[in-house]
Amino acid sequence: MDITIYHNARCGSSRNTLGLIRNTGVEPTIIDYLANPPSHALLKAMIAAAGLSVRDAIRPNEAAYAELGLADAALSDDALIDAMLAHPALINRPFVVTPQGVRLCRPAELVLDILPLPQLGAFSKENGEALIDAAGQRIAKP
């Protein structure tokens, strides 16, 4: 099963997403995008495939965002992507690529929409929020 996660181990959303992938019995390809960012073309393609704008895929709360003046609406998508690749912490996370699509998994449970295999058992986020029951079914939110 070909699943790739662009992962930041320090990010709770990324860790929860990885846990949901593993709860299908699949060990994905894990790319530490901070150390190994995708190419310009690949990042642009993932953003498009996820149905996002480039601005949706950038982290405006990172210091580099303000330092580089990235709020400037005149900046092109390509300029924003170049900044994201020069400063990978600006890339929102985690992106997951499966045969069923690409998602920016914030919140983590968005990955469930593109996983080709079912959940194998119960899963709760690190904060204790139950997402999947013992039968592998998604728990409805009230």
Provide the CA 2 distance to its chain's centre, in angstroms. 16
Distances (CA, A) of 89 to 3, 37, 104, 121: 22, 10, 15, 33
Six-digit token string for 41: 């073309």
Strands (E), the chain: 4-7, 29-32, 95-98, 101-104, 123-124, 130-132
Catalytic residue among 11, 30, 52, 122: 11
Provide the CA 15 distance to its chain's centre, in angstroms. 10
Q: How far is residue 98's CA from residue 3's CA, in Å, rounded to a whole number?
A: 5
Is 105 marked active-site? no
Instruction: Report the catalytic residues.
Output: 11
